[in-house]
Structure 1
Amino acid sequence: MADIKLFNINKTVKEYQSGTVTLEKELQTVIENNMNTFFGVTFLASEYRTTDGGRMDSIGIDENHCPVIFEYKRSMKENVINQGLFYLNWLLDHKDSFKVLVIEKLGLKAADDIDWTMPRVVCIAGDFTKYDESAIKQMNRNISLIRYKKFGDDLLMFEQINENIAAAISEDTSVSKPKSSDKTFEEQINGADKEIKVLYQNLSNYILSLGDDISETHLKLYAAFKKIRNIVTVVALKKKLVINLPIDVSTVTFEEGFSRDVTNIGHWGCGAVEVQLKNKADFEKAKALIDRAYNEN
């Protein structure tokens, strides 16, 4: 794998020498203290114990309300992927334990919002082998491989080098359901007008064309397009698409009937900038904001 080089171009060009953080407790502590900033995940617990004596390195819940397990690869020989999958399977069999943890840390409402359709494992290492990258493609689970590099004393880089997106897990009677009036995203898109279905496909194609680091997932109540974090979320209504973008609202000029600031308004999806797409013209106008969301997140 080609190494990434970082240069300071202020006056005299100087290369930062890359290295690794003392593995892995220092790195784990930095990530846990800044998990939301780095990955859009709310940190819940470190060294979380399972009933069979295992310990997950870190566990959290992401901006889509899905559980996330973090495992840190301490040596090239360590099979951190299989370890993460083992913990993920344990978690799927012990959903009540995770709900109790969320209640303790975030409260009952956050626990009621847990979405089990896309739980995932994030594996973090100084590097991965070609076998690691190939292996996750054979697994029907959501797994991300994140490589890190440290440059100098105060620069830390994360690079998503591979990701596997599995089909959403069907919910069962043991999992909290959306309110009866709330349609799942699949129900939303199936009930939309034909023109809106076409508009969604065009929107999806455009977002995915922005970079090969973007993935599309259909969650319980909306579709999410993300890199390491969400860049666009979509709710499908019968006659329009409602998209949310994680952009600084102070930098956006809002237009009545097209866009608005929903910072203090309840909404599905992620991002305080809401845009309504009713036709191709709206879609064309929204592309500049979508591009910003991609470049700024």
Structure 2
Amino acid sequence: MIGLKLFSTAGGVAEVLPRLAEVEADVQDLVEAHMEKMLGVTFLASEYVIDCVDGGRIDSLGLDENGAPVIVEYKRGTDAGAINQGLYYMAWLRAHKDAFRSLVRDRLGATAASQILWSAPRLICVAGDFTRYDAHAVREHRRSIDLVRYRYYGSDHIGLETVASVTGQSVASRRVRRRAVGRPAARGQDGAMAELIAAVDEALIGLGEGVTRVQRKQYAAYQRLRNFACVCPPQQTKLLVYLKANPKEVDLVAGFTRDVTGLGHHGTGDLELQLRTERDLERAQDLFRLSYAAA
């Protein structure tokens, strides 16, 4: 059940009642037209027909901010088969990497196709609602699955709420993750920097339920449905963190925060944080929360 109550304050206070889409295609068309803004995913294809014995048609295919393949399935209301259907398509994806790589090459170019993050394919189910059994089921699978509930409000608003989010990691990925965010791994990385890395990881993971971490060679991304923070490997005396917070809404401090809009860097986000000490991390907490809320 939806717990959010929305009220209009124009000419008094009146509740804006939530509603489902008339048909499933209405939700699919809206999300596909604005997938990057709504889900943090670059749209690749709609109603993609898969070539296998049992056949099938994937509602949407995309590539997320970290280069991971994304399957999006839509249901107008509550559908007990949505997760299993999506997992069936994910199995096809893992067995037909060349087909997906070719699609990415055609839509986004050879560079994007060569950098696909095959260790972390994702399934996003967008539906009118989910049962408690759905939320439990995704936690039993070793796959990256997001359950996203939608509601229309009036004629001009739609709400998306992440009901459950689970990151599936292979053994190799977990080993990489531990080296990246745990104790010193790189030669010359001192104990103080290792402790700072671990503290930043703990702070970002602890912002709320459903925070997941995706490890790439150049950075570690922290996401809800979309990335909200990217932590790069430490430099000699500082750790660079990129946030989705709007730099124009932040009081920039030289040597601590920087607007990198339009400047090339690893990871995603236009606000750069330069962390050198635990005190810097304390100063960054409000910015972490601001970026988390925006994701």
* 1:51 corresponding residue in structure 2: 51
Distance of 1:73 and 1:137 partners within structure 2: 20
Q: How far apart are 1:168 and its partner, in Å?
A: 4.5
Q: How far apart are 1:200 and its partner, in Å?
A: 1.9
Distance of 1:75 and 1:159 partners within structure 2: 14
188-197 or 30-39, which deviates more: 188-197
Distance of 1:250 and 1:74 partners within structure 2: 38
Call closer, same or farther: CA 1:201–1:38 in 2, change over 3 Å: same
Distance of 1:3 and 1:287 partners within structure 2: 28
1:201 aligned residue (178, 198, 202): 198
2:265 counterpart letter in structure 1: H
Distance of 1:13 and 1:244 partners within structure 2: 39
> Does the Cα contact within 8 Å between 1:116 and 1:169 map onto a contact in 2?
no
Distance of 2:130 and 2:145 partners within structure 1: 13
Matched ranges for 1:49-198 at <5 A: 49-52=49-52, 53-74=55-76, 76-168=78-170, 170=172, 188-189=180-181, 190-191=185-186, 192-198=189-195
> Does the Cα contact within 8 Å between 1:185 and 1:235 map onto a contact in 2?
no
> Does the Cα contact within 8 Å between 1:196 and 1:238 map onto a contact in 2?
no
Q: SS state of the match for residue 61, structure 1?
A: strand
| TM-score (norm: length of structure 2) | 0.89
Distance of 1:33 and 1:168 partners within structure 2: 32
Q: SS state of the match for residue 142, structure 2?
A: coil
211-220 or 78-87, which deviates more: 211-220
Call closer, same or farther: CA 1:170–1:45 in 2, change over 3 Å: farther
Q: SS state of the match for residue 58, structure 1?
A: strand
Distance of 1:269 and 1:11 partners within structure 2: 45
* 1:176 corresponding residue in structure 2: none
Matched ranges for 1:258-277 at <5 A: 258-277=256-275
> Does the Cα contact within 8 Å between 1:188 and 1:235 map onto a contact in 2?
no
1:46 counterpart letter in structure 2: S
Q: SS state of the match for residue 287, structure 2?
A: helix
Residues 73-127 of structure 1, C-alpha deviations (whole Å, 9 max, x = no match): 2454440111111111111111111111111111112212211121110011101
* 1:32 corresponding residue in structure 2: 32
- Are 1:286 and 2:288 counterparts? no
| TM-score (norm: length of structure 1) | 0.88
Distance of 1:104 and 1:13 partners within structure 2: 50
Aligned residues: 285
Matched ranges for 1:231-242 at <5 A: 231-237=228-234, 239=236, 240-242=238-240
Residues 16-51 of structure 1, C-alpha deviations (whole Å, 9 max, x = no match): 111111221111000000001101111000011111
74-83 or 31-40, which deviates more: 74-83
Q: SS state of the match for residue 232, structure 2?
A: strand
> Does the Cα contact within 8 Å between 1:243 and 1:275 map onto a contact in 2?
yes
Structure 2 unaligned blocks of 5 or more: none
2:32 counterpart letter in structure 1: E
285-294 or 148-157, which deviates more: 285-294
**Over the residues paired in the alignment, what is the CA RMSD in angstroms?**
2.1
* 1:41 corresponding residue in structure 2: 41
2:243 aligned residue (242, 245, 250): 245
Distance of 1:253 and 1:2 partners within structure 2: 36
Q: SS state of the match for residue 200, structure 2?
A: helix
1:37 counterpart letter in structure 2: K
Identity %: 38
